Structure 1
Amino acid sequence: MTQAKALSSQKKPRHRAPRPRSLRLHGTVARDLGIRIVSGTLKPGEILEGEIAASEQFKVSRTAYREAIRILAAKGLVHSRPKIGTQVSPRSEWHLLDPDVLGWIFVGEPDQGLIENLFELRRIVEPEAARLAAMRRSDEQYARMKAGLDGVAEHGFHSEEGRRCDQSFHSALLEASGNDFIISLTSGVAAAIEITTAFKQDRLPAPHDALPVHLRVLEAIEARDAQGARDAMARLVDRGLTDTMEARDPSVGRKGLSAVCC
Structure 2
Amino acid sequence: MPPKSGPRSLRIHQSVARQLGVAILSGEYLPGDTIPRASQQAETLKVSRTAYREAVQILTAKGLLESRPKAGTQVTPRERWNLLDPDVLAWMFTGTPDEVFIRDLFELRNLLEPAAARWAAVRRTEEQCERMQVAIEGMREHGLDTPEGQAADQRFHAVILEAAGNLALATLASSVGAAVRWTTHYKQRASKQPRDPLPEHEAVNDAIAAGDPERADAAMKELLRLALKDMASAL
TM-score scaled by length of structure 1: 0.86
2:40 matches 1:53:
yes
* Residue pair 1:22, 1:63 contacting (<8 A) in 2 also: no
Matched residue of 1:64: which SS?
Answer: helix
Aligned to 1:225: 212
The within-5 A match list for 1:133-212 is 133-212=120-199
Q: How far, CA to CA, are the matches of 1:247 and 1:166 in structure 2?
A: 19
Consecutive unaligned residues of structure 2, counting only runs of 5 or more, are none
Matched residue of 1:239: which SS?
Answer: helix
Indicate the larger mover: 73-82 or 22-31. 22-31
- Give the ranges of 4+ consecutive aligned residues of structure 1 lying more than 2 Å apart after TM superposition: 17-24
Q: How far, CA to CA, are the matches of 2:141 and 2:77 in structure 1?
A: 43
Matched residue of 2:82: which SS?
Answer: coil
Tell me by how many angstroms 1:98 deviates: 1.1
Tell me by how many angstroms 1:125 deviates: 0.3
Name the CA shift for 1:127/1:61 in 2 (closer, same or farther; >3 Å): same
* Residue pair 1:130, 1:174 contacting (<8 A) in 2 also: yes
Matched residue of 2:183: which SS?
Answer: helix
- Once the two structures are superposed, residues 195-242 of structure 1 have per-residue CA deviations (whole angstroms, 9 ceiling, x without a partner) of 110110111011111000100011111111101000000010111111
Consecutive unaligned residues of structure 1, counting only runs of 5 or more, are 1-16, 249-262
Name the CA shift for 1:184/1:52 in 2 (closer, same or farther; >3 Å): same
The one-letter amino acid of 2:199's match is P
* Residue pair 1:148, 1:169 contacting (<8 A) in 2 also: yes
- Once the two structures are superposed, residues 69-101 of structure 1 have per-residue CA deviations (whole angstroms, 9 ceiling, x without a partner) of 011111111011111110101111111111110
Q: How far, CA to CA, are the matches of 1:20 and 1:177 in structure 2?
A: 37
Q: How far, CA to CA, are the matches of 1:169 and 1:234 in structure 2?
A: 15
Matched residue of 2:108: which SS?
Answer: helix
* Residue pair 1:22, 1:60 contacting (<8 A) in 2 also: no
TM-score scaled by length of structure 2: 0.95
RMSD: 1.4
Tell me by how many angstroms 1:177 deviates: 0.4
Q: 2:233 aligns with which of 225, 246, 253?
A: 246
Matched residue of 1:80: which SS?
Answer: strand
Answer with 1 or 2: which has the greater Rg: 1
Q: How far, CA to CA, are the matches of 2:48 and 2:78 in structure 1?
A: 29
Number of residue-to-residue matches in the alignment:
232
Tell me by how many angstroms 1:128 deviates: 0.6
* Residue pair 1:75, 1:94 contacting (<8 A) in 2 also: yes
Aligned to 1:258: none
2:29 matches 1:42:
yes
Matched residue of 1:199: which SS?
Answer: helix
Residue identity over aligned pairs, in percent, reads 50
Indicate the larger mover: 147-156 or 23-32. 23-32
Q: How far, CA to CA, are the matches of 2:210 and 2:16 in structure 1?
A: 49
